[in-house]
Structure 1
């Protein structure tokens, strides 16, 4: 399922005091100021509060390969009258943010309305099961969480960073936009940016971040930021990069910077911001924590002393009724896609 997000036209302007850096009970003011200046030098990469569309990443696109499959246009599903105004506002927001556009595609995937447990608010999704079943799988190794948690107790300082808006930074090819088309009571629309829920979206974004951190192929500096060329097709090697930025992978859009000393941490942050600028990758200020001795990462509380899985995560896993969740999704009808969210 691809979730239709609530978006805003703009984000709040980032102020230097919004940066969540260090601990005045542990760090000296000089240490904090040094890291602040390194980050603020790249302030154009920082995204404030809000849900506006971030700038497009450079050198990567989302394509959808369905082979020789013929286009499939599924029927429009009903949206109950009490939710239509909310749906209307959501579609207008996506159009205003230029995340979607009107479509004349022969493809059409239906929407699913998820009613939140308060019975008033809704979450809207696109049912891409048919499109995904026809899409050729992009084979790419996704990171294992256990591997990413190795040796985290052997360092003193951490930065837990969230790359702003994740998949949305990846532009769609014309073919992918057409195949991504979804049908609603208000018309047919398609995506300008890669949505969640497409079969290969995690692999496409992970490959982008891996390449930014490890420097296998390069993006040319004269490449226009709206250009839709894919550097992974040209495959021009980045001979200037002899070592990785962090010595570790990200988990999709979650990046962890680790170092034993504050000086080394500052150096790594500067290198990370340099490659983020090279690939035009934005960082969410509200969700990023710099120069901490304890951070939350991949469902764990991480520190030099120990790390442990969140108690809330264990509870949710223990209490989740996966059979019932799967049954509700599979029972979605052709005419009215409605799922009631109970948890």
Structure 2
């Protein structure tokens, strides 16, 4: 069951809390020798809703009226709210520059094995302290190269995830302006790997 919140989005005041730029995040990752990535398990759903928010997020069905108890995916300010919430858990680690938080992705960067283990322990301690749930299936602990934010990153290189390349190749040729704009938004994410992309995309 999915709620349609398009009307609510129209009346929602935008939350301007910044979400990290992916390209800057990837450049930071590409300089690390050891990387750990963790994913919050159904991250948005770990946030309880205020009583007023529950009323605004009601779903009317033929079986009755239902309310979300936790923050759903698809509401306007969910990403910014979640980014703010998780940033407040790790203020020191973020200020030291070795922890990257991209919404529900938690990424640890280090130049040495021993230092990385220390940092991993610090993060896991805080995760347990606030009772945050982590998806073990999506965790990658202490890798020299791994997949993050749609790229393959290591201390030596920054490459495109082959699965993403395959997805582009399988996409049908756009037949109208709307489909072309959708394709360009998808392709623009990898523009740093595509020579003269901005010229070709005009």
**TM-score normalised to structure 2 length:** 0.79
Post-superposition offset of 1:280: 2.2
Q: 2:11 aligns with which of 118, 134, 137?
A: 134
Distance in 1 (alpha carbons) for counterparts of 2:55 and 2:167: 38
Deviations 1:17-63 (A, max 9, x none): xxxxxxxxxxxxxxxxxxxxxxxxxxxxxxxxxxxxxxxxxxxxxxx
Consecutive unaligned residues of structure 1, counting only runs of 5 or more, are 5-124, 216-240, 327-343
The residue aligned with 1:308 is 159
The residue aligned with 2:73 is 196
Q: 1:323 aligns with which of 172, 178, 188?
A: 178
The residue aligned with 1:177 is 54
Q: How much is the aligned-residue C-alpha RMSD, in angstroms?
A: 2.5
3-state SS in 1 of match to 2:102: coil
Q: Is the 2:98–2:110 contact (alpha carbons within 8 Å) kept by the matching residues of 1? A: no
Q: Which structure has more helix as a fraction of its residues? A: 2
Post-superposition offset of 1:324: 5.0
Distance in 1 (alpha carbons) for counterparts of 2:98 and 2:142: 18
Post-superposition offset of 1:305: 2.4
Q: 1:128 to 1:181 in 2, by over 3 A?
A: same
Consecutive unaligned residues of structure 2, counting only runs of 5 or more, are 182-202
Post-superposition offset of 1:325: 10
3-state SS in 2 of match to 1:126: coil
Distance in 2 (alpha carbons) for counterparts of 1:144 and 1:176: 29
Post-superposition offset of 1:246: 5.4
How do residues 225-264 of structure 1 correspond to structure 2 at under 5 angstroms?
244=95, 247-264=98-115
Q: 1:191 to 1:127 in 2, by over 3 A?
A: same
3-state SS in 1 of match to 2:121: helix
The residue aligned with 1:155 is 32
Q: Is the 1:210–1:249 contact (alpha carbons within 8 Å) kept by the matching residues of 2? A: no
3-state SS in 1 of match to 2:119: helix
Q: 2:133 aligns with which of 268, 272, 282?
A: 282
Q: 1:151 to 1:198 in 2, by over 3 A?
A: closer
Post-superposition offset of 1:200: 0.6
Q: Is the 2:34–2:144 contact (alpha carbons within 8 Å) kept by the matching residues of 1? A: yes
Distance in 2 (alpha carbons) for counterparts of 1:268 and 1:317: 37
Distance in 1 (alpha carbons) for counterparts of 2:70 and 2:38: 22
Distance in 1 (alpha carbons) for counterparts of 2:148 and 2:138: 11
Distance in 2 (alpha carbons) for counterparts of 1:261 and 1:156: 7
Distance in 2 (alpha carbons) for counterparts of 1:244 and 1:277: 21
